[in-house]
Amino acid sequence: MKPRGSITIYFALTFAVMAALITACIFSAKVEAGRARTANAADQAIYSLFARYDQPLFKTYDLFFVDGSCGSARMDMGSCIQFLSDSSDYLLNPQKDRPLSGAVPLLNLKRTACSITGYTLATDLNNMPYLTQAIEAEKSELGAAAIGHLMQAGRKMLRLL
């Protein structure tokens, strides 16, 4: 009589190796999806904050500055940080404030901290951020105006010929 357990042991060991490989692949995919979602949440938060730029200042003078006072009279970094937190939460936790959305949480992501590591006011460093942007805006305006004048002069020369 032959021993009958050898094939069963072989399949059990092969199955264990295959199951470990598949589990490792699934875990790796979950980690990468978490990294991608956190990067997207950070980008969304930053772009949402930048979307609150001072539109009259940009339209009139081509200067891009974000309103750090959030509509009040004084600088308020706490409300900016809260705005960043709220903007990133839409991607990190799809069910937040939407209990009937039907979304299934495949990733359990939680924001542990949110902070602004640095900022520069338009009036810092003897108004250098403001002056730098104003000079660049004027250079581009002067360059466009100079090109327009050259094109007009070229057209006039072509008409004379």
139, 153: one domain: yes
Tokens 């309103």 correspond to: 67
* pLDDT value, residue 74: 78
157, 101: one domain: no
125, 75: one domain: no
20, 61: one domain: yes
92, 126: one domain: no
* pLDDT value, residue 160: 65
37, 95: one domain: yes
User: Which residues in the chain show pLDDT less than 70?
Assistant: 1-6, 70-71, 97-105, 144-145, 148, 154-155, 157-161
SS (H, E, C) 42-93: HHHHHHHHHCCECHHHHHHHCCCCECCCCCCCCCCHHHHHHHHHHHHHHHHC
Global pTM reads: 0.63
* pLDDT value, residue 55: 82
Q: Measuring CA to CA, how many Å separate 161 from each of 32, 62, 156, 158?
A: 66, 39, 9, 5
30, 71: one domain: yes
28, 67: one domain: yes
Q: How many domains does the chain have?
A: 2
* pLDDT value, residue 71: 67
74, 125: one domain: no
91, 127: one domain: no
115, 154: one domain: no
133, 115: one domain: no
* Residue of 55, 52, 51 lying closest to 63 (CA atoms): 55
User: Domain of 114?
Assistant: 5-119
* pLDDT value, residue 161: 58
* pLDDT value, residue 113: 81
